[in-house]
Amino acid sequence: MPTPTCCRTLLAHSPSAEVARCTCGHIHLSLGPMTIRMDEDTLHAVWHTMGDALRALASPPAAPPEPAIAGRWKQ
């Protein structure tokens, strides 16, 4: 029995990013040459995190910034 192939539907794109929904249920987020596969809940969580980052960039820091530590997010 043949394995069903994935088929992507483009949801949004810009010069720097592209988001597509796959028939297997994943969301594919492409940034330049890199594509990250995630579920829809993770896409929402990433979107909120990006918004938090943009708000933080737009306002002056009240305290010294927290050092970035790799590997703190969970998938």
Contacts with Zn ion by CB under 5 A lie at: 6, 22, 24
Give the residue with the Cβ less far from Zn ion, 22 or 53: 22
Classified as helix, coil or strand, 28 is: strand
Least Å distance, CB 15 to Zn ion, is 24
What is Dmax (Cα atoms) for the chain? 60
Smallest separation (angstroms) from Zn ion to the CB of 58: 36
CA dist., res. 73 & res. 48, Å (int)? 13
Which one, 39 or 52, has the nearer CB to Zn ion? 39
